Amino acid sequence: MQIYIETPRLILRDWKEEDIPAFAHMNADPHVMEFFLNPLTAEETFAFYQRIQKEFQTYGFGLYAVEHKEDHAFMGYTGLHQITFDVDFAPGVEIGWRLGHEYWGHGYAPEAASACMGYTRKQLDIKELYSFTSLPNLRSERVMQKIGMERMKEFDHPLVPADHPLCRHVVYHMNLR
């Protein structure tokens, strides 16, 4: 297992198969998935896990599993993802995060994301990062602000139905060079 990033409280590392049940539980949680179209089934989570593995193999980076140092619990993920849908800021690399509901409100998301940005700046040939979320997701937008990203604009997410309340998104940006 490779550890990519360590913070005082967190380890961002390769995924282990033992993470999958906790990952599935997190992705099925309506609180965690409130600003997504649907919670994920166990099968959808496993397919997502496989896409994460493929992205690491293809690009050498991806969504890192986040582990709590104190008890080694799987907390969720923070990391990098290729933007593959049709928007004017693609192609590009997104920094994103998803943590289990029980880990919210402790500063873990900004801690992990800031460390990931530092790692990206020093170790990877990525010049800029984007992050986006649906407009109602103020918690995630606040993380973007805390890690120093700048608000670019709003946009309609092309993979969300136009009449859906989550269609309108906000995108943030940061130059790393």
Which residues are paired to 150 by β-bridges?
Answer: 173
* Domains of the chain: total: 1
Total length of the chain: 177
pLDDT at residue number 23: 98
Find how far residue 144's CA is from the centre of its chain.
11
pLDDT at residue number 137: 98
Q: Which residues contact 80 (CB under 8 A, 6 or more apart)?
A: 59, 61, 62, 63, 93, 94, 95, 96, 116, 120, 124, 126, 129
- 5 pLDDT exceeds 80? yes
pLDDT more than 90, % of the chain: 98
Outline where DSSP puts E strands in the chain. 3-6, 10-13, 63-68, 74-83, 92-99, 128-134, 150-156, 168-175
Residue 27: which CATH number? 3.40.630.30
Please give the Cα distance from 69 to 7 (Å, whole number).
9
Write the pLDDT tens digit of every residue in 126-159: 999 999 999 999 999 999 999 999 999 999 999 9
Residue 60 structural domain: 3-175
- 1 pLDDT exceeds 80? no
The dihedrals phi and psi of 25, each to the nearest 5 degrees, come to -60, -45
> H or E element: which one contains 48?
helix 42-59
Write the pLDDT tens digit of every residue in 57-112: 999 999 999 999 999 999 999 999 999 999 999 999 999 999 999 999 999 999 99
